[in-house]
Structure 1
Amino acid sequence: MSFRGDHLEEGKSAKGQSPRRNDVSTFWSSPEVVVLTQKVFAEIVGTYFLMFIGCGSFVVDKKYGSVTFPGMCVAWGLVIMVMVYSVGHISGAHLNPSVTITFAIFRQFPYSQVPSYIAGQLLGSLLASATVYMLFDVEQKYFFGTVPNGSNVRSLVLEIIISFLLMFVISGVATDNRSTGELAGIAIGMTILMNVLIAGQVSGASMNPARSLGPAIIMHEYKGIWIYIVGPTVGTILGGFAYNLIRFTDKPLQEIAKPSMILRTFTGSSRR
């Protein structure tokens, strides 16, 4: 930073601003920060409406009986499909901390942006949960979070399986250039619908720590909450790893099975 004349006070610029203030202003106006802010805001909005529609359909059904369980499954599937097409080209439409973490592990997303994405997803979930809670005057018996129905182990295994399937599909339609990208929203939405249909009555079919943490914090219900942090994260990592193994379809089996190849697959491969 240059200074004009000796009459300026030490540490002041020609416009009377300190270098620190200019540095801060430059930081917040830099293209990288602006783009990241746009992405995080897209994650907040996407997660908000994912939670508002999904959890709202549950509350409406429990209070008024007009949605039915298949209707709730469709609501979850449709809203994720709509959000993928709405903000997918901006932020990637992760809307899920476990998905963000998995993308980072396999070098398909920068580690530096992981905390910002997760913070945005949790904020969106909290805002949507608070909106549903206040708008519908939700009683504790209508808790719209996720709690295990039966043993914790059964719900944990189920969350791992359905999260594996979700990430396997996401990896196939969103990270592989050989797939038809225009169908990504439909494929992911249908996967969510199927998973909720089979697991919704047992584990709640979370597949997403933000989906479970928002309602839990707003309504102070933390029964089995660890299941919905561990299960989806383990499942998505395994699903991402499985797809990255079969991504190398043009290589002989002996080469794929080499420890060095498996290690490169686990740490991430270049997008083909």
Structure 2
Amino acid sequence: MADQILSGGGANGNHGVAVNIKDDDRDSKNTTENSSTCIFLTVPFIQKIIAETLGTYFLIFAGCASVVVNSDKEKVVTLPGISIVWGLAVMVMVYSVGHISGAHFNPAVTIAFATCKRFPWKQVPAYVSAQVVGSTLASGTLRLLFSGTHDHFAGTLPTGSDVQSLVVEFIITFYLMFVISGVATDNRAIGELAGLAVGATVLLNVMFAGPISGASMNPARSLGPAIVSTHYKGIWIYLLGPIAGAISGAWVYNIIRFTNKPLREITKTASFLKTSSRNNNSS
């Protein structure tokens, strides 16, 4: 869920690129082409993809199971209970695999980090695919366990207008990504508390936004149940809102990250965004 959580390095994924001995210009060209694709064949990268798939599976299984059980057992879990389950699930999975894959579990987070140059774009399709697969498998498991006459939809649906849910999803995902950027990418923060901070943010968001939009904050969280149940009503809300909110949250944090420097120093040699990007890569 957060890149660089529990790790001290830069953005994940710039490891394992093969370097071949070049004998002539043709070999040089082949080496350049191969080095851009070899990253997808390395054991560390495969481990990251497996970690993202399993982490998303267990996150969605636990969170959506709380929703299904609450519907199936006469509201026994309650809204506060569902919120706590989501928050705890995020927290424990961040601490479990954050040091392996960065613990994104969320296409919106992955895309937001990529736009800030804190995650390589060439790895985004693999990460997003792993997250959607994990969510779909978890939703399928729940569908098998709770099938029959009481077939409960574990996905997200707007209870009011589409615009209301879109705005809510944008705001809560902005809030989530802002927190992730603060605790997981700024070396001045206490990185060991990242899982607790992110989990608590998810808990808070689900508590008040769950009855309105379902508090997705995660396109994979909404896509998995929708694919399994072939129920796509309002799915665009849960694709557009979280992705736009995450990108905005990440960039707004980048703006305030450097307020300890004088404005003339920030804008002295280049535009603010270029300076921010350069400082991000060096931090």
TM-score scaled to structure 1, two decimals?
0.85
Q: What does 1:15-164 correspond to in 2, within 5 Å?
A: 33-64=42-73, 65-137=75-147, 142-164=152-174
Does the Cα contact within 8 Å between 1:105 and 1:267 map onto a contact in 2? no
Partner amino acid, structure 2, of 1:54: G
Letter in structure 1 aligned against 2:263: L
How far 1:137 moved relative to its partner? 1.3
2:276 paired with 1:262:
no
1:142 deviation in Å?
A: 2.1
SS at match of 1:178: coil
Summarize the Cα distance change of 1:90–1:59 in structure 2 as closer, same or farther, 3 Å threshold. Answer: same
Counterpart for residue 261 of structure 2: 251
Q: What is the distance in 1 between the residues matched to 2:124 and 2:249?
A: 19
Larger Rg: 1
Provide closer, same or farther for how the CA distance between residues 34 and 204 of structure 1 changes in structure 2, counting only shifts above 3 A: same
Cα distance change on mapping 1:116 and 1:55 into 2, 3 Å: same
Does the 8 Å contact 1:255/1:261 carry over to 2?
no
Deviation at 1:264, TM superposition (A): 3.9
For residues 109 and 270 of structure 1, what CA distance do their matches in structure 2 show?
Answer: 10
Write out the 4+ residue segments of structure 1 that deviate beyond 4 Å after TM superposition. Answer: 138-141, 254-259
- Structure 2: stretches of 5+ with no match in the other structure: 1-33
Q: 3-state SS of the aligned residue for 1:137?
A: coil
Q: What are structure 1's unaligned runs of at least 5 residues? A: 1-23
CA RMSD of aligned residues (A): 2.2
How far apart, in 2, do the equivalents of 1:90 and 1:57 lie? Answer: 27
- The CA distance in 2 between the partners of 1:242 and 1:134, in whole Å, is 42
* Distance 1:84-1:231 versus aligned 2 partners, 3 A rule: same
For residues 184-216 of structure 1, the C-alpha deviation after alignment (integer angstroms, 9 at most, x for no partner) is 000000000000011100000000000000000
More off after superposition, 52-61 vs 140-149: 140-149
Aligned counterparts of 1:271 and 1:98: Cα–Cα separation in 2: 24
Describe the SS at the equivalent of 1:202.
helix
Indicate how the Cα distance of structure 1 residues 37 and 205 shifts in structure 2: closer, same or farther if over 3 A, else same: same
State the match for 2:175 in structure 1.
165
Task: Provide the C-alpha distance between the structure 2 equivalents of 1:268 and 1:144, rounded to a whole number of angstroms.
Answer: 42
Task: Flag the 1:227–1:192 CA change in 2: closer, same or farther, 3 A.
Answer: same
8 Å Cα contact 2:183/2:190 also seen in 1 = yes
- Comparing 207-216 with 103-112, which one deviates more in the overlay? 103-112
Q: Which amino acid aligns with 1:230?
A: L
Distance 1:138 1:85 in 2: 36
- Note if 1:221 corresponds to 2:242: no
The residue number in structure 2 matching 1:16 is none
The separation in 1 between residues aligned to 2:170 and 2:229, in whole angstroms, is 25
Q: Distance in 1 between matches of 2:67 and 2:77?
A: 8
Contact in 2 for aligned 1:176/1:271 (Cα 8 Å): no
Q: Quote the Cα distance in structure 2 between the aligned partners of 1:138 and 1:207.
A: 29
Conserved? CA contact 1:59–1:138, under 8 Å: no
| C-alpha distance 154-266 of structure 1, shift in aligned 2 (>3 A) | farther
Is 2:200 the partner of 1:182? no
The Cα of 1:94 is off from its aligned counterpart by: 0.2
Q: 2:40–2:46: 8 Å Cα contact kept in structure 1?
A: no
Percent of paired sites with the same residue: 57
State the shift of 1:46 in Å: 0.3
Name the stretch that deviates more: 242-251 or 42-51: 242-251
Q: 1:82 to 1:136 in 2, by over 3 A?
A: same
